[in-house]
Amino acid sequence: MARSLSAEVKTGKMRVWELGKLNHVAIAVPNLQKASNFYKDVLGATVSEPVPQKEHGVYTVFIQLGDSKIELLHPLGENSPIANFLEKNKSGGMHHICLEVTDIKEAIETVRENNVRTLGKEPRIGAHGKPVIFLHPKDCDGVLVELEES
């Protein structure tokens, strides 16, 4: 991977983490079974079973696409952030992108040093069992970005 020197020049310190691959694109869906069937039956993709993620208030389904995935999100419970998203977007839509980083704590430090807000103070364990944190979409050109430690 090519290493960007821009952060090193701005902060005067060597960056100890690297940006990795696109892990997944997450799509909020109003009907999880219908969406899963589309990817499995129409497109022929390998589709996981739904998994409840109680801490995050969602059901997740992963569609395997080579070395990346599509994540389908559906509300789990009344306080689900996906329920709020679907209230505004009745047909569903892209919710976030997930990028891998080699060291999430160092990545968080770098983004904060560059005035990018995180949603939460500390990383939480995500759907893949790895630490994740979300970056504020207003600081990322309108895109909700999830960082996941690889």
pLDDT bucket at 2, cuts 50 / 70 / 90: very low
Looking at residue 3, what is its pLDDT?
45
pLDDT in tens, 95-143: 999 999 999 999 999 999 999 999 999 999 999 999 999 999 999 999 9
Burial of 64 (0-12, 13-18, 19+ CB in 10 A): middle
47 contacts 61 by C-beta, under 8 angstroms: yes
CA angle at 67 for the pair 62 and 68, rounded to the nearest 5°: 45
pTM of the model: 0.88
Looking at residue 91, what is its pLDDT?
97
pLDDT bucket at 8, cuts 50 / 70 / 90: low
Which tokens belong to 73? 């999100």
**Can you tell me the mean pLDDT for 48-62?**
95
Q: How many domains does the chain fold into? A: 1
Q: Is the residue at 51 inside a domain?
A: yes
Q: Is the residue at 126 inside a domain?
A: yes
CATH code (residue 59): 3.10.180.10
Average pLDDT, the chain: 92
Q: Domain span at residue 29?
A: 11-63+76-149
Q: Is the residue at 68 inside a domain?
A: no
